[in-house]
Amino acid sequence: MKYLIKQFSIGKEARNATWLICGKITQMLLSLIVGVFTARYLGPGNYGLVNYGMAFVSFFMAFCTLGINSIIIKDFIDNPHEQGLAIGTTLVLRAVSSFCSAVMIISIVALLDKNEPLTIAVVILCSISLLFHIFDTFNYWFQSKYMSKVTAIATLIAYVATSLYKIILLLLNSQILWFAFASSVDYIVLGVILSIAYKLNNGPRLKFSWNKAKYLLKNSYHYILSGMMVAIYGQTDKLMLKQMLDDASVGYYSTATAICSMWVFVLAAIIDSVHPTIMQLYKQNYSEYERKNRQLYAIVFYISFFVSILFVLFGDFAIKILYGKDYAPAGAPLKIITWYTAFSYLGVARNAWIVCEGKQKYLKYLYFSAAVINVLLNLIFIPLRGAAGAAFASLITQISTSILLPLFFKDLRKNSILMLQAITLRGIFDTDITH
pLDDT per residue as tens digits for the range 330-382: 999 999 999 988 898 998 889 888 888 888 778 778 878 888 888 899 999 99
How many other CB atoms sit within 10 Å of the CB of residue 14? 14
State how far Cα 319 lies from the chain centre.
23
Return the DSSP state at 201: T
- In whole angstroms, give the CA distance from residue 51 to residue 60: 14
Which H helix or E strand runs over 274?
helix 265-284
- 115-124, 268-277, 305-314: segment of lowest average pLDDT: 268-277
The answer to whether the pTM exceeds 0.85 is no
- DSSP sequence for 47-98: HHHHHHHHHHHHHHHHHHHTTGGGTHHHHHHH-GGGHHHHHHHHHHHHHHHH
What 3-state class would DSSP assign to 430? coil
Instruction: Say if residue 2's pLDDT is above 90.
Output: no
pLDDT per residue as tens digits for the range 320-329: 888 888 999 9
| pLDDT more than 90, % of the chain | 24
